[in-house]
Structure formats: C-alpha cells, structure tokens
Amino acid sequence: MAPVKHRVPAWFPGACLILLGLVLYLPAIWDWPLSRSEAMYALIPKEMHDSGHWLTPTLNGARYLDKPPLFYWINLVAYSILGVSDRVARVPTLMIGLGEVWFTYLIGRRLLGTRSAWLGGLTLLTSVGFFTLHLQLLTDHLVTLGLVVAMWALVCAEDQPSWRWSVLFQVALAVGFLSKGFIGLAFPLLILAGYAWFRRQPRLLTLALNPWGWLVFLLLTVPWFWAMEQAHPGFLQHHIVNEQILRFFGQRQPPDIIPFPLPGFWLFLFIWLLPWGLLLPEALYRFWQATASPDQARRGRLLLVWALIIMGFFSLSSTRIEYYSLPALPALALVLGWRMSLAFESSRDRGLLAALFSLGLLGLALMVLLPYLEQICAANRREFFGMFPLIQPVARQASFWIASLALGGVVAGWRRPVWGLACYLLLALAFLFFTWKTLTILSPLLSDKLPGEYIRQKAGPNDLVVMEAIEEFEYGASLAFYSGHPILMVQRRGLPQFPYPVSSAENYLITPEGLRQRWESPNRVYLLIDDVIPPEPFLQKGRVVLELPGKRVWWNRP
C-alpha cells in the first residue's frame, strides 16, 4: 500500500507567521509606554471617547485638523470595547501589523511561491524596523496595510480579472486616504501605472478605472471631508494644501518639522531591514536577473517597482522622516525571502556568508558606531540626547552576541548554507531582543509616562500642568495622556505654533512671561522641563519634585 501523503493546507504557513508575530510582539508591547512622538494617536481617540464626538479630532482640547480620522476611529472602537489605556491603544497597531504580514505572504505566494513567500513574511516580522515601528502608534501602518491589500488585489486581478478586485483595490485606497491623505491614494495608483507600463499591459489599469470601485471609494471618503469643511470652514485648505501639497515641497507652515537628510533616509532603509538588510544589494541584483524572463517570472518585478516608487517619492520630497520608508519594507522583504530560499538549493552560498561576515564586523564595531547614530537621531528629535551612555551595557552584550552568532554562522554555513540561514534567523531574533531591551532603557527619555503618572497622583483638579518648549505641540500628548490633565506649553522662538487659527479657549500655548506669572501666582503649578533647556532663574523659587533621565518636574512651592 502506498504511503498516504498529507498535504499542508494553503493557509497554514501564513497562520504560522501570524502566531509567531503574536509570540514576538505581544510581550514587547505589553508594558511599552507611549512616547512623545506617538502619544497623540492615543490621546485624540481618548478625548473623542470622553466627549462622545466622533467627527472632529481634538488634541489637548484643541481641534486637530492635520490628519484624517481612520486611525483615531479604530483606536476609539478599541477603547469602547476594552477600556482606555496605553495597552489597549497598541492592540489595533498589532492587528494592523499582522495584517501587513498576512497580505505580504499572500502576494509572495502568487508571485514567488510558498517557500519564498513564507521566508519573506518571516523577514518582515523579524526585521528591526518593522518590529520597532510596530511598537509605536503611526498612521503609516494603515497606509502600508492599504498598500499591501491593493497590491494583492492587483496580482489577483492580473490572474483573473473581476470587478470584485477593482472594488477591493478602491477600498484599500480609501483605507490609505483616510489614514494619511493623498499618499495613501497615490502610492497604489503610481505602482499600478508603473507596473502596467513595465508589463506592457494597459488592461491592468482597468483595476483603477472601474466605476463601481470609484463609487465605493467616494462613499467611504467624501462624507467625512464634507462634514469637516461644513463644521470648520477652511479645513480643506489647511488639510490638503498646507499639510500635503506644501509639506511635500517643504513649504508647510509652521516650519516645525526637521526633515531627515537624504543619505540618512536611505541609510535607515538598511537599518530598518537589519539584520537582513546587508543581504539586500546582492538580493536585488540576483532578483533583477532572475525576473528578466520568462514572462511569469517578470511578474516579480512588481516588487521592484513598488519599492522604487516609495523610496523615489520621499527622496524627491523636501519633508521626510526616517520611518517614511515603511511602505517599501514588505516588497523588499519578499525579495529577501526569495534570496534566502536559494540557500536551500546551493551547496555553498557566498552571498549569505558575506552578509554574515559583514554582520560580524558590524557587531564588533557597534560601540564605535552608536555615538554617530545618536547624533543622527538627536538632530531630528532632541529627546535622543544622552542616549549612548544609557545603553552602553546593553550595547556591549549585543556586540558580543551579534559578532558570535554572525561569525558562527559563517563557519556553520560554509558547507551547509541552510545551517548558515538558521544562524541568520537566530541573529535576527537576537537583534529584536536587544532592540527591545534598548528601547525599554530609553523609554524614560522618549516618554512622559513617569512624570505624567506622578502628576496624576499629586495634582488637584485646579492645578496647572505646564510643559517647557518643544518643537511640535503634538509632542505634549504623552504628558497629557498619563497625567489626565490638560496641559499648557511654553512657546519659545515661535515654536510650537498652531498651523491654523484657534479660539482663546483652545489655545494652550503661553509665553515665557506667561509661565513666570503663573509660577508666581497662588495657583499650584507642575512644570516638566527637559535638561537640554536651561531653567529660568525664577524657577529657583520652587523645587524639583521628580528627577528622571533627561528631564525634571518642578513645583512652584518652595
């Protein structure tokens, strides 16, 4: 009797990726505090939840008109079901990230085969950037999810054209558009156009031209924008012209965003893909050659068009941030997954060995390179000042283990590339562990949870909570979320500044003289001030009640 062959269900490899994602990410996010750069995405839905108003986002009590509402609404639903907390705020981001991995796997399975798709999903899950950024609340995650869903609709429509794929494509566009505006709409359309041109198949453009699809898109997007313009005349002028068009050209007002330099932006693409990023140049070269022919293989170049358009768009933009390359990571992860699958078919993989050897050298040089990385990060956000001394002990451990695993992988993979690949995976897990440990140590610098909770315990309902000068008013959200108090912010050298008129009741920006008057008034005042800002002389009339790495809480009672 012939042995019975048990075929693995098609969904099983993808389900394993999702399970692995839960194992890796759930413990990491459980006690991770809200940082200054992300807390607005938790505070805005909290205020909407408390007020019961779902139309207009508010931040620290003032209208916030910069971004569309979908991410706020998703967190608002989570709050309504599970209660308001920083942990609950992270649950939707985790679900979105797992959705990105799932659709990345589905795309790869159609273009490259199951093994390459699974390895691509594994690469995405275990890359430093995907892990780090999915510990944070960012609208870019929804943009990326919308993009991968749109790309899956594209590859499905190429195999079997149907109006259903057009509707799904437009729903994905609506998700991106309601998350971050025109880039959520532009990226899928530009990639579709570029891929149709490359494939010499204009019929693919019908995916974006189906009238039923556009009807769905308009029904999903227009009502909120129309209602906001009716409620806040001038909203569209600010939201579309200032926040999107002028932002692209670096003319946004106020000029409170420090653009990331172009070389640093490209450097961070490789950092986000670590440890797999060192395999990327060779992977791209070999993938380009392998997808030259036959026609079925040429479909794989969709991934190259995808990554090139994302990176090219932000390279041309005058306003870019280090994590804006996030939507390109799924495409590049699939290319890397395809490259790693070659290790199963070769007796010696020199490219894999070279990448492992380079990672070994990187591990040995880690202590030398970290101060330069601190300079790059601190030039963009001041809370990174003083980062290196705090993480030196972890960096020494990471240097040893990264070098040991990488160089050990060279030895193990010399004759058996699969063993080298196994060491590479262990190395990726080590990167994630030391990244999480580093971020945990830095969290007092990046978050205002500890001073916020102190103020929540000590301050009365009529006490004032003030935050000294920061570049962007959004960065006060961490303190406001954890303190449970509306906060005032000191404005220095014109920053922070509202980009649109606000009423006196909404305006929480005060002058240095206004701070002095409140400090010397009968009211009790709690003031959070970063160590990089010299304290005013009149503060000496009070006292420091809480001292933390990089910041202090002052109280105006001697």
Which tens digit of pLDDT belongs to each residue from 322-371? 889 999 999 999 999 999 999 888 777 888 999 999 999 988 888 777 76
- Ranges of H-type helices in 249-301: 262-272, 280-290, 295-298
With contact defined as beta carbons under 8 Å apart, do 348 and 291 qualify? no
Closest CA to 121 of 24, 6, 192: 24
- Residue 256: pLDDT band with limits 50, 70, 90: low
Q: What angle do CA 336, 133, 500 make, to 5 degrees?
A: 130
Query: Which range has highest mean pLDDT (217-231, 340-354, 463-477, 495-509)?
Result: 217-231
Which residues contact residue 399 at a Cβ distance below 8 angstroms, ignoring those fewer than 6 apart?
Answer: 363, 364, 366, 367
What phi, psi does 495 have (nearest 5°)?
-130, 145
529: enclosing H helix or E strand: strand 525-530
Cα(434)–Cα(395) distance, rounded to whole angstroms? 8
What phi, psi does 546 have (nearest 5°)?
-150, 125
Cα(71)–Cα(142) distance, rounded to whole angstroms? 7
Cα(111)–Cα(104) distance, rounded to whole angstroms? 11
Roughly how many angstroms between the first and final C-alpha of the chain, as a whole number? 90
Which residues contact residue 239 at a Cβ distance below 8 angstroms, ignoring those fewer than 6 apart?
Answer: 65, 66, 181, 225, 228
Using one digit for the tens of pLDDT, what is the confidence trace for 421-447?
A: 999 999 999 999 999 998 888 888 889
With contact defined as beta carbons under 8 Å apart, do 418 and 363 qualify? no
Supply the pLDDT for residue 248: 80
Least confident of 235-249, 377-391, 503-517: 377-391
Q: For the chain, give the percent of residues with pLDDT over 90.
A: 67
Cα(387)–Cα(446) distance, rounded to whole angstroms? 10
484 pLDDT higher than 50: yes
Closest CA to 335 of 293, 302, 309: 302
Supply the pLDDT for residue 252: 80
Using one digit for the tens of pLDDT, what is the confidence trace for 30-87?
A: 888 999 989 999 999 999 999 999 999 999 999 999 999 999 999 999 999 999 999 9
Alpha carbon separation from 336 to 28, 79, 286, 532 (Å, rounded) = 25, 37, 10, 42
Cα dihedral angle (445, 23, 333, 168), rounded to 10 degrees?
Answer: -100
Cα(271)–Cα(276) distance, rounded to whole angstroms? 9
| Size of the chain, expressed as the number of residues it contains | 558
What phi, psi does 447 have (nearest 5°)?
-125, 155
Using one digit for the tens of pLDDT, what is the confidence trace for 145-200?
A: 999 999 999 999 998 989 999 999 999 999 999 999 999 999 999 999 999 999 88
Q: What is the amino acid identity at position 39?
A: A
- pTM for the full predicted model: 0.93
3-state DSSP assignment of residue 291: coil
Q: Which residue has the higher pLDDT, 395 or 287?
A: 287
Which residues contact residue 193 at a Cβ distance below 8 angstroms, ignoring those fewer than 6 apart?
Answer: 205
Least confident of 233-247, 382-396, 526-540: 382-396
Closest CA to 268 of 349, 343, 161, 373: 373
Cα(335)–Cα(260) distance, rounded to whole angstroms? 26
- Residue 251: pLDDT band with limits 50, 70, 90: confident
**Mean pLDDT, the chain, whole residue set:** 90
Cα(166)–Cα(164) distance, rounded to whole angstroms? 5
1 pLDDT higher than 50: no
**Quick one: CA dihedral 46, 52, 54, 57, positive or negative?**
negative
Cα(531)–Cα(517) distance, rounded to whole angstroms? 22
Closest CA to 188 of 157, 150, 139: 150
Q: Structure tokens of 553? A: 């809480």
Supply the pLDDT for residue 2: 42
237 pLDDT higher than 50: yes
Cα(136)–Cα(25) distance, rounded to whole angstroms? 12
Closest CA to 174 of 306, 312, 166, 445: 166
With contact defined as beta carbons under 8 Å apart, do 461 and 430 qualify? no
Cα(462)–Cα(429) distance, rounded to whole angstroms? 48
Q: What is the DSSP letter of 208?
A: G
475 pLDDT higher than 80: yes
Cα(180)–Cα(68) distance, rounded to whole angstroms? 6
- Residue 379: pLDDT band with limits 50, 70, 90: low
Q: Structure tokens of 521? A: 């008034």
Which residues contact residue 522 at a Cβ distance below 8 angstroms, ignoring those fewer than 6 apart?
Answer: none
Determine the average pLDDT of the residues in 497-513: 92
Residues linked to residue 328 through DSSP beta bridges, in sequence order: none
With contact defined as beta carbons under 8 Å apart, do 486 and 480 qualify? yes
Cα(70)–Cα(72) distance, rounded to whole angstroms? 5
375 pLDDT higher than 90: no
Alpha carbon separation from 93 to 53, 123, 161, 374, 443 (Å, rounded) = 22, 19, 32, 27, 19
